[in-house]
Amino acid sequence: MALFGLFSGKASASDAAVEAAALRSDRFRQEREADWTRLDTIVTRLEAGRTRRLSDADVLALPVLYRTVASSLSVARETSLDAATLAYLEGLVQRAWFQVYGPRVTLWGWLRRFFGGEWSRSVRGLWPELIAALALMVAGAVVGWLLVAGDQDWYFSLVPGGFLDVRVPGASREVLRGTLFDGAKQDGLTVFAAYLFSHNAGIAILCFALGFAFGVPPLLLLIQNTATLGAMLWLFHGQGLTYEFVGWLSIHGTTELLAILLAGAAGLHVGRSMAFPGKRSLIEAAAEAGQRAAVVMAGVVLMLVCAGLLEGLGRQLIEATPARYAIGYGMLTFWLFYFFAFRRDPQGSESE
């Protein structure tokens, strides 16, 4: 009997503890449930995109309610409340966090804002670096031409090995002309075009990535890359094929070279902001410049993809030089119009 009484006493104590815990959990929920329900309603409407149904009071209350419910979750964990309450609060706090601190726009909203003015505005913000980068590219092409004209051995130093098939000093007009036409029948030209695209894409990425070194590497890369172009222009000009070569290059080259110009300007912009931060700290100057340059580089990647498509399709399907010029400089006109004439406010393109 004594043993039975002992077990009975323990069972009674256990039941009392469970009952007390349940009572404490119910009281905890009742005191705070109104805030939980209101936050849940606000978050649900935001997740569904029904922002117009939210009052100004609800929008202002969102961060306060989030902190209140997060505090409730902390208390619930410390007092070991029931698992259902904990799971509900954890899920609600996680959902509210994304609405308070998470991304403000959808992917579609970001794309509309990016193409709706943010990209073009960021490019215009680099205008001093764009002028400097353009001057460097022109100077590089001139230097490459003059070096090879003075000593043909420079050609093999300036032109990468992947470009050296039959395009070498001493090649006849017929051989060089054959590399510009009948592209669909030449496997070697396909390899060359792929190498050209990957080479220029690598140059564009390096120009931006190395901009943190106070802009010095982008200067050198821009000059080196267009020195290669100058050397090849000299080669084709020597056989009277300048018009044809520029036309062949224009289909994808106007887009590709412009992408390199933008990448070089982005790298110079970061480097200049670090070398001359002004009244800002070095970190603040680099962060501000990096944000603008990153937007430009996102567009550069798209331009390089576009150039690859133009090169792959245009080279195979279009062999008339006037048509090549029309496509190449039509694309250049489009890009310049978008960057410098399209001045829409990107804030007006954001999603609700």
> What is the rounded CA–CA span in Å between residue 344 and residue 291?
19
Domain that holds residue 270: 109-347
Would you mind telling me the total number of residues written for the chain in this entry? 352
Whether 166 and 230 share a structural domain: yes
Whether 56 and 203 share a structural domain: no
Whether 85 and 57 share a structural domain: yes
Model's pTM, two decimal places? 0.66
Q: Is 341 exposed, middle or buried (0-12, 13-18, 19+ CB in 10 A)?
A: exposed
Q: How high is the pLDDT of residue 7?
A: 43
> What is the rounded CA–CA span in Å between residue 43 and residue 37?
10
Neighbours of 82 (CB within 10 A): 16
Whether 243 and 142 share a structural domain: yes
Whether 15 and 144 share a structural domain: no
Locate 174 and state its tokens: 């017929």
Rounded to 5°, the CA angle 275-128-331 comes to 130
Whether residue 352 lies inside any domain: the answer is: no
Whether 324 and 290 share a structural domain: yes
pLDDT tens-place values along the chain, 352 residues long = 544 454 455 455 555 555 555 556 677 777 788 888 888 888 888 877 777 777 878 888 888 888 888 888 888 777 766 777 788 888 888 888 877 776 656 667 778 888 888 899 999 988 999 999 999 999 999 999 999 999 999 998 888 766 666 788 888 899 888 888 865 455 555 555 565 666 667 777 777 767 666 667 778 888 888 999 999 999 999 999 999 999 988 888 899 899 989 988 888 888 888 878 778 787 787 778 888 888 998 899 889 888 888 877 776 678 888 999 999 999 999 999 999 887 766 554 443 3
Whether residue 254 lies inside any domain: the answer is: yes
End-of-domain residue from the set 51, 79, 102: 102
Whether residue 55 lies inside any domain: the answer is: yes
Whether 117 and 90 share a structural domain: no
Provide the number of structural domains found in the chain: 2
195-207 burial code (b ≥16 CB/10 A, e <16)? ebbeebbebbbbb
Whether 134 and 227 share a structural domain: yes
Q: How high is the pLDDT of residue 212?
A: 66
Tell me the DSSP string of 331-351.
HHHHHHHHHHT----GGGG--
Phi and psi (nearest 5°) for 104? -90, -15
Whether 141 and 218 share a structural domain: yes
Neighbours of 70 (CB within 10 A): 14
Q: How high is the pLDDT of residue 138?
A: 94
